[in-house]
Chains A and B, each alone.
Chain A
Amino acid sequence: MFKSILSARMLSLLSLLVLIAVVFHVLSGGLFLTPRNLYNLVVQTSVVAVMATGMTLVIITRNIDLSVGSALGLVGMVIALFQIELFPAEAAWNWPLSAAIGIACGALIGAWNGAWIAFGGIPSFVVTLGGLLIFRGLAFETAQGRTLAPFQETYQVFGGGLNGALGEAVSWWVLVVVLALYAAGEFFIHRRQIRIGHALPLILRALRMAMVAILAIGFVFVMNAYDRPRTDIGRGVPIPALILLVTVLVMEFIARFTTFGRYAYAIGGDVDAARLVGIPTRKTVFWIYVLMGVLAAVAAVIATARLNAGTSSTGELLELSVIAAAVIGGVSLLGGRGTVSGAVIGAVIIQSLDSGMVLVGASSSVRMIAIGVILTLAVYIDKRLSKEA
């Protein structure tokens, strides 16, 4: 019965996540499953997870993007340069405009990658490896390696720091709106499936909706249970989590319900066949990279607001976490298969391992080994599952 609600792959991912959480909870003497750690985990995951949603589409088309960490670094420096050095510090229009410039810069970066790959016919591995070097170098040049700080206070809320959460009351209201939208969505999908003629039995659908609702309510409850320092006032849902939620919904929608998204899967399945049936393969790949660049820029906003500084090394080596998240989440490097939410859970798994290891006092080398082992195991299990399916 479970299988009709959740795919086998999703079920195995979630079990792995629960296993990791329980093991670290025990090993750390009850620190892992606390509101505080879960709050931190959500904020720490958001940067990688936002980019992993885009990486899913990139990998589905049988491409790769090695430049996302550097792109994040460059966009972060561009935002810092405009917001801190060029625009007046007190102006209210400063942060929206500098963030918008950053997003535009991300789109340009994506267009650079996408143009070479889609229209120049150069393998994505090469183009984005070049991009990794180019964008990191440009990030350095932006301010000659200086650290730029501090950002405007309003901008800092995107980082989920002291003032970067919704507060208790607003969190509940947001939950109500989100659940209402979700219920409406399920309703429309149900109607459509009835029209096509194979709808999920109503009881199962209700069960699934109840599960999602319980998880969402539990999430808000936990986030509200983490208090602001030296008070009884709950923090509520962190802004980066909200950004991530919106990103996941938009990207899931693009991947599952738009022709653009379905083109991506078709290209990954067989690029020649896709071209022969008239899918604009080059244009699709180009726009997927632009989307990836925009998402790297969104991640850059979160990362810089979180650190409250622009540094040229921000996001170094992050491309590896992003790709690993997608792969652990079941996105196949052979193309054509994988889901956005899977990649996000992959990101949560990586961050749980990373944070959990620090909680138990493990060194960074042990953390690297653990993440590497999980990466390999996850892909192995995934392969077994897809054979069974």
Chain B
Amino acid sequence: MQRKQTIKAALAGFLLFFMPPAIAHAELVVGMSWANYQEERWQIDERGLQEALSEMGATLVTADAQSSNARQASDISGLIARGIDVLAIVAWDSEAILPSVEQALAEGIPVIAYERQIEHPDVFYVAFNPIEVGRIQARELVAVQPEGRYVIIKGSPTDQYAHYVLTGQREIIDPFVADGRIEIVGEQWTDGWVPDRAQANMENILTATNDEVDAVLASNDGTAGGVVAALTSVGLDGIPVSGQDGDIAALNRIALGTQTVTAWKDARELGRLAARVAAELAGDTAPGDVTDRIVWDLGPNGVAQDAVVLPPVTVTWDNLDVVIDAGWISQGDLCVGVSENVPSACR
């Protein structure tokens, strides 16, 4: 008798162990298909996602496509076969991924496009608001330099993200341009976001304007680095310059006073947000009722989809503490070479 029960229990345990969790309903399982996990950034996302899911008692299973369309397709098939409740995807190619997305949706698995938009009406988009990035950059520059001659160093013309950022920048400065307080004296795209190109473009714009430039809207921290190098060579370093990403070199420039602002995206926050959205979608919440949900239709094809977007954090000389408190950068790296006008984060 005793023996039989033991066998039964073992059998039950055995079955439970192999039963797909989706059927077991025991706990939430979130599948994440990374495009290229080697990039440092995604490891930070995963930390946030993992933390938030563990707190809920949910499980995270991941696969890494290693920059391959084919591998990402088979990764997703594998995750579906393993049994997941929600599928999150960082698409390597937002077009080529569509058949895999359809496959998951057909199985009744909600799909989250994580950080990189997948234009499909039934996909839930979770990302940092790229337009807000541009707004933050322009807002901070306008705050310190409300009038004068502006230069815009745009991102890569073939990258939709660069267009989003520009949209946000123009939204803020266009009224100033309209009433003549701000004059755009030069603007150039930066092929491939390459910093040395941004530098050469900035040098030539400085020649064209005879150094009469009051502020530079650079679209990310890499191009901002090129801009600051160009400004330094004519002794103009210190005029307002924007950026985004919270690069270590850029945060150091903010501490030194050669860059004004970076729109910082704390990847862990986005991971936590995705965990929350996944939990809501796996529960009985309709996509339209997810907390903070908006409709996003600003992609290249104008497809309307449910989304939750996170505002990036504005980091300036005044609040550099936030990046240290978040463990994003060490005080040593932040404060290299800072000797005068020391920000509180370096004291």
Q: Are A147 and B203 in contact (CB under 8 A)?
A: no
Give the docked Cα–Cα distance between A324 and B236 (Å).
Answer: 34
Q: What's the least CB distance linking B333 to chain A, in Å?
A: 10
Within 8 A of A (CB), among B235-265: 235-236, 247-250, 252
Within 8 A of A (CB), among B157-192: 157, 186, 188-189, 191-192
- From B186, B200, B229, A161 is in contact (CB under 8 Å) with B229
Within 8 A of B (CB), among A30-81: 31, 34, 36-37, 40, 44, 47
Q: What's the least CB distance linking B196 to chain A, in Å?
A: 6
Q: Are B195 and A309 in contact (CB under 8 A)?
A: yes
* Contact (A306, B229) CB under 8 Å given A148-B249, A365-B157: yes
Choose among A144, A161, A358 the residue with the greatest number of B CB atoms under 10 Å from its CB.
A358
Question: Closest residue of chain A to B190, judged by CB?
Answer: A364
* Contact (A317, B222) CB under 8 Å given A28-B208, A162-B233: no
Give the docked Cα–Cα distance between A89 and B249 (Å).
Answer: 15
- From B40, B199, B232, B233, A145 is in contact (CB under 8 Å) with B40
Q: Are B226 and A307 in contact (CB under 8 A)?
A: yes
Give the docked Cα–Cα distance between A131 and B191 (Å).
Answer: 21
Question: Closest residue of chain B to A44, judged by CB?
Answer: B200
Q: Are B194 and A317 in contact (CB under 8 A)?
A: yes
Question: Closest residue of chain A to B226, judged by CB?
Answer: A307
Interface residues on A, range: 35 or more
Interfacial chain A residues near B200, Cβ < 8 Å: 44, 354-355, 358
Interfacial chain A residues near B205, Cβ < 8 Å: 358
Q: What's the least CB distance linking B89 to chain A, in Å?
A: 21
* Contact (A31, B207) CB under 8 Å given A303-B196, A365-B157: yes
Q: Are B204 and A314 in contact (CB under 8 A)?
A: no
Give the docked Cα–Cα distance between A150 and B258 (Å).
Answer: 13
A282 within 8 A of B: no
Question: Closest residue of chain A to B203, judged by CB?
Answer: A40
Q: Are B235 and A228 in contact (CB under 8 A)?
A: yes
B114 within 8 A of A: no
Q: What's the least CB distance linking B249 to chain A, in Å?
A: 4
A315 within 8 A of B: yes
Give 1 or 0 for each of A280-322: 1 = CB within 8 Å of chain B CB: 0000000000000000000000010011110101111100000
Interfacial chain B residues near A307, Cβ < 8 Å: 195-196, 199, 225-226, 229
Interfacial chain A residues near B188, Cβ < 8 Å: 358, 363-364
Q: Are A313 and B204 in contact (CB under 8 A)?
A: no
- From A146, A359, A363, B204 is in contact (CB under 8 Å) with A359
A197 within 8 A of B: no
- From A47, A145, A311, B195 is in contact (CB under 8 Å) with A311
Q: Are B337 and A146 in contact (CB under 8 A)?
A: no
Interfacial chain A residues near B226, Cβ < 8 Å: 307
* Contact (A317, B203) CB under 8 Å given A229-B234, A229-B235: no
Q: Are B196 and A361 in contact (CB under 8 A)?
A: no
Q: Are B204 and A40 in contact (CB under 8 A)?
A: yes
Q: What's the least CB distance linking A145 to chain B, in Å?
A: 6
- From A28, A148, A315, B196 is in contact (CB under 8 Å) with A315
Interfacial chain A residues near B221, Cβ < 8 Å: 147
Q: What's the least CB distance linking B277 to chain A, in Å?
A: 27
19 A/B residue pairs, CB under 8 Å, sorted by A: A34-B207, A36-B207, A37-B207, A146-B248, A147-B195, A149-B248, A149-B249, A162-B234, A229-B236, A230-B235, A306-B199, A308-B225, A309-B225, A311-B222, A313-B192, A313-B193, A358-B186, A358-B188, A364-B189
Known pairs A144-B38, A147-B247, A149-B252; list 19 more (Cβ under 8 Å). A31-B208, A47-B196, A145-B41, A147-B225, A149-B248, A150-B249, A150-B337, A160-B233, A303-B196, A307-B226, A309-B229, A311-B222, A313-B192, A313-B193, A314-B194, A315-B196, A317-B194, A355-B204, A355-B207
